[in-house]
Amino acid sequence: MALHLILFGPPGAGKGTQAEQLARQRGIPKISTGDILREAVQGGTPIGQRAKAIMSQGRLVSDEVMIGIIRERIDQSDASNGFVLDGFPRTVIQASALDEMMVGRDPLVIIEIAVPEAELLRRLSMRMVCDKCGHTAGANAASGPGGTCEVCGGKLVQRSDDHDNVIRERLNVYHVQTQPLLEFYQARPTFRSVNGSQSPERVSADLTAAIDSVGSGMTRGARR
């Protein structure tokens, strides 16, 4: 069965790190709308040009644009055995559109990575990214600005939307526009929540267990 996974949670919950690892382990693509948009901004494409100002203010790019991006991406051949979504859906409209795209495919597995707000603020204000390959270096003191990327040797910098006022706006946007999605998904038998305040290794182990428990629930259901 194909794994169609949504990692759901606030900015700074660790979705990107976990998505990268899961995608590698399972041989399926990680589809990160934040990465796709940042590439579009760097490449100066029409979508990138429009998204740039919106992203730098911490607001959301339009549902129409985002739905178009995802519709095209999940139809590519590398996603035929599944995918890990990071950063999509972020609104109920995006989630409903995704449900329509998934008709006739294996069900979505939705896992919330839950982290308290104070911890998110701390992580986001400390996080560093590589200015060359985009790798996130995490919120540890050893990798402050000016450090080097462990993946490609590039320079570590603060992400342009990780400044205080933008962080607050992103968290605010999350509460108002994205959190209502919890209600949208919570009642589904394929929804799980894991504690994201633990070490990346523990979160990863809990995620694997959560995905497995959805899988075994579905096989039991199918046998009945």
Indicate which single residue of 19, 22, 55, 115 sits in contact with ligand ADP (rule: CB under 6 A). Answer: 55
| Site residues (CB under 6 A) for ligand ADP, limited to 11-40 | 11, 33-34, 37
Terminus-to-terminus CA distance in the chain, angstroms?
Answer: 18
List 8, 83, 88, 191, residue binding ligand ADP (CB under 6 A): 88
Catalytic residues: 15, 90, 127, 159, 170
Q: Among residues 136 and 218, whose Cβ is nearest to ligand ADP?
A: 136
Spatial CA neighbour of 131 closest among 162, 156, 160, 161: 156
Name the residue number minimizing CB distance to ligand ADP: 34
CA 16/CA 168 separation, integer angstroms = 19
Residues of this chain, 141-170, that bind ligand ADP according to CB under 6 A: 161, 170
The amino acid present at 55, given as its one-letter code, is M
> Does position 113 bind ligand ADP by CB under 6 A?
no
Which secondary structure element, helix H or strand E, spans residue 124, and what is its range? helix 117-126
Among 22, 31, 41, 61, binds ligand ADP (CB under 6 A): 61
Q: Where are the alpha helices (DSSP H) in 44-112?
A: 46-56, 63-74, 92-101
Q: Which amino acid is at 77?
A: S
Residue 216: CB minimum distance to ligand ADP, A: 30
